[in-house]
Amino acid sequence: MEPHEWHRDLLKRMKIAVNGYRPHVIDEALFMLLDDFRAFRHKFRHSYSFELDWEKERLIALKFEPAVRMLKDQVHQFLSKLETIDAEL
């Protein structure tokens, strides 16, 4: 794994359920949103401001609040499923 790819690799792992061990943490839709934010962060850190596509960045910013709500919901669902798995053991 490339050092600069670990964020994306972590997101990929979070969308995978491991049968008998743990459910997925996030779904594909949230993965896509979070990956957009990750890509923006990468570009922002490695670009000068005049190279940014401000319209695209505005569209990404508009997705932030819905993504936070989705993340909270999906993490709560994940924790609930873990509690269920723990109770079954």
Q: Give me the residue spans of the domains in the chain.
A: 3-88
Q: Phi, psi at residue 80, to the nearest 5°?
A: -65, -40
- In single-letter form, the type of residue at position 32 comes to M
pLDDT digits (tens, 9 = 90+) for 43-56: 666 666 556 677 88
Q: Is the whole-model pTM more than 0.85?
A: no
* Alpha carbon 80 to its chain's center: 19
What is the token pair recorded at 7?
């964020």
Tens-of-pLDDT digits for all 89 residues of the chain?
A: 566 689 999 999 999 999 878 999 999 999 999 998 888 877 666 666 556 677 888 888 899 999 999 999 999 999 999 999 888 87
pLDDT, position 3: 63
Q: CA neighbours within 13 Å on the CB side: how many for 23?
A: 16
35 contacts 8 by C-beta, under 8 angstroms: yes
Helices 28-45 and 6-14: crossing angle in degrees, nearest 10, is 170
